[in-house]
Amino acid sequence: MNICALLRMGVASRTRSIAGILKAAVLMLAFINVAHAGVVISGTRVIYPANQKDVSIWFQSKNKSPALVQVWLDDGDENVTPENARVPFVATPPIFRLEPEKQQVVRLVYTGEPLPGDKESLFWLNMLEVPPKVREAEAANQLQLAFRSRLKVFFRPDNLPYTANQAPEKLRWELVHTKQGVSLKVHNPTPYYMSFDSVSLVAGVKRYERSVAQTSSDNMVSPQASTVIPLQGLTAMPETRAHIEFETIDDIGVKVSHVGKVAP
């Protein structure tokens, strides 16, 4: 039985709060801000080069008590259970107890199922952290939460024509009419996923920022694909020459600034 099943069976029965409203508020904040979780993952993404036997991922506990951790991957369906996830990777160990202030290495191994050889493939690493059960005398005034974190895993084939650092300069930008007004369309002809931290259209003295992304996937454009990026406040084509200022996130999670041209 996995931690998800144990969580459904046990955590709900032992979770107590001082007031129902407080419980709902804290639950919402806990799942929005995963920084409160006691177990953290090294890095913001995982790059898996196809020529490597395995990739190591470090988990570190910031807790003052032990925690039970489960790790699994999915192909983009965040609701899939670990038993039903169908991905060409094995995480070892999949479940472990992490002692306070200690670290654990999880090895990610590609199992060899065919994946595209001309572009990256995207998967997601899930970590579920369940705190230990509190003593019954303490349970009445404590709220226990299980924390789930997800980060991207990019499987990178060998012999791609150029490096990931060279890919942002190859993006093509154009303004298009949409139901909301005018939006920015970006075409990614490269074999790499492009992850954006910020995107702005600058026209003269005016700057139009990208609308807030709803999901992590909204911050990306897939290899050899296009996506439309809504811009706040842009209702008509700008009357002056415009350019794009954008930041991408590189392999180690660093923001890199770029300037792009808008197609006429």
CATH number of the CATH domain containing 217: 2.60.40.10
The last residue of a domain, from among 138, 156, 174: 156
| Residues 230, 14: Cα–Cα separation, whole Å | 44
Q: Does 116 lie in the same domain as 15?
A: yes
Exposed / middle / buried, residue 135 (Cβ in 10 Å: 0-12, 13-18, 19+)? exposed
The pLDDT score that the predictor gives to residue 29 is 40
CB 183 within 8 A of CB 160: no
Indicate the pLDDT class of residue 211, thresholds 50, 70 and 90: confident
The reply to whether 85 and 176 lie within a common domain is no
How far is the C-alpha of 170 from the C-alpha of 167, rounded, in Å? Answer: 5
Q: Are residues 135 and 227 in the same domain?
A: no
Q: What is the pTM of this model?
A: 0.81
- Do 187 and 226 form a contact (C-beta atoms < 8 A)? yes
**180 and 88 in one domain?**
no
Q: Which of 132, 156, 180 is the last residue of a domain?
A: 156
Query: What percentage of the chain reaches a pLDDT higher than 70?
Result: 81
Using the 3D structure, point to which of 103, 135, 156 is the last residue of a domain: 156
CA atoms within 13 A on the CB side of 218: 10
The label of the residue with tokens 């046990």 reads 10
The number of folded domains in the chain is 2
Residue 25 has pLDDT above 70, yes or no: no
Bridge-based pairing of strands 194-203 and 242-249 is antiparallel
Count helices and strands in the chain by DSSP H and E runs: 4, 17
- Do 33 and 145 belong together in one domain? yes
Across the range 162-190, mean pLDDT stands at 95
Same domain, 187 and 118: no
Are residue 69 and residue 136 in the same domain, yes or no? yes
pLDDT surpassing 60 at residue 21: no
Nearest of 259, 205, 203, 197 to residue 229 by alpha carbon: 197
Peptide bond into 189 cis (omega under 30): no
Q: What is the domain extent for residue 106? A: 3-156
Given a contact cutoff of 8 angstroms between Cβ atoms, the answer to whether 190 and 167 are in contact is yes
Which amino acid makes up residue 1? M
Q: Is the pLDDT of residue 15 over 60?
A: no
Confidence of residue 3 (pLDDT cuts 50, 70, 90): low
For the segment 153-181, the average pLDDT, to the nearest whole number, is 95
CB atoms within 10 A of CB 26: 15
Of residues 64 and 243, the one with the higher pLDDT is 243
pLDDT at 161 over 50: yes
Q: Are residues 20 and 140 in the same domain?
A: yes
Same domain as 190, residue 148: no
pLDDT for res 119: 98
Say whether both 125 and 190 belong to one domain. Answer: no
146 with 75, same domain: the answer is: yes
Lowest mean per-residue pLDDT among 22-26, 48-52, 177-181: 22-26
Same structural domain, 11 and 112: yes
